[in-house]
Amino acid sequence: MSDIPPPPQHFSGYSNYPRAQFTPVPPDRPPGVYFDYIGKAWNMVNTNLGTWILATLILFGITYGVNIPLSLLGNFVAYGSPLGMGFSGAGQPGAGQTFPSMTQIGISFGFTFLSVFITYPLQAGMLNMALKQVRGLQVSPGDVFSGYSRAGHVVISYLLMGLLCGIAICLCIIPSFYAFGVLAFTPLLVVDRNLTGMEAITQSYNSLKPYAWSMFGFLFVLGLLNMLGGCACGVGMLFSFPVYVMAQAMTYHNFFPYPLETEGFNSQIGLNPNPYGG
């Protein structure tokens, strides 16, 4: 029995949720708006506050450092002005404005895709970084780049999520709330379980469909806290954004407590998938 790996770090009072290969059981505490849970996320971040602030600065620095120039360059290629349609190179409305050709639109779209290919894996990397700490592993600012190991699948997963949520918004605003909640685990499933974008969406849906509305409520409150952090000249987001991703990782960990590399071994020895009670 000495070869049995120790159980991952868990948070007292929060039961583990079933994984796909185990018999599903109702959770003791489904995802929801629990402010004590957000407090636990802050405590986790606070133990490595300098690391998280540096990682957040890297994320925002690269994101804005890439998105703004590429957006301006794409507008210039398509419309002849960095400001976009309706402005000439001199910044005067309508002067010399012509509708862009398909080639110009294609080049502009290429700049947009390059932007998302660079920035989306960083967002997934932050989520993966949070999950590492939740599982009791050491984290470093460089973990923000961990999403690049699955960059193609990460980008596809985010694009598919955007497409599905966009369709839901077109149908009605209410279905879009459901879509946001039920697809919340998609990026983490890509980087943690090595799933493709569509596989991750399917797994997230299967895991969260009983809790889609409460999961959306939880993400909504986290989003509001993040917005409040942004109100202080953006400085507050250096603290609120790490809490945002940490709380998501903690919730995900309740569904998927084992790292992928130990999962098969754990199931072979018959280790209880819910070893912490619940």
- Per domain, the residue ranges of the chain are 39-260
Neighbours of 255 (CB within 10 A): 21
Query: One-letter amino acid identity for 245?
Result: V
> Which tops the pLDDT comparison, 40 or 1?
40
Spatial separation of the C-alpha atoms in residues 128 and 138, rounded to whole Å? 12
Greater confidence (4 vs 85) lies with 85
Residue 226, SS3?
A: helix
Choose the weakest-confidence range: 56-60, 154-158, 250-254: 250-254
pTM, to two decimals? 0.75
Quick one: pLDDT at residue 227? 87
pLDDT value at residue 266: 40
For the residues 240-260, what does the mean pLDDT come to?
Answer: 86
Number of Cβ within a 10 Å radius of residue 247: 25
CB of 44 closer than 8 Å to CB of 133: yes
Name the residue type at position 230.
Answer: G
pLDDT for 170 equals 80
Q: What are phi and psi of 87, to 5 degrees?
A: -130, 135
Mean pLDDT, residues 61-87 = 70
Please give the pLDDT value at position 97.
52
Q: What separation, in Å, do the N-terminal and C-terminal C-alpha atoms of the chain show?
A: 24
149 touches 192 (CB < 8 A):
no
State the alpha helices, DSSP H only, in the chain: 35-46, 49-79, 102-134, 151-171, 173-182, 186-193, 197-208, 212-231, 237-255, 260-268
Question: Which residue is associated with the tokens 């399917």?
Answer: 202
Tokens representing 146 are 């961990």
Which of these ranges, 63-72, 84-93, 121-130, 180-189, has the smallest mean pLDDT? 84-93
Average of per-residue pLDDT across 214-223: 91
Is 16 within 8 Å of 266 (Cβ atoms)? no
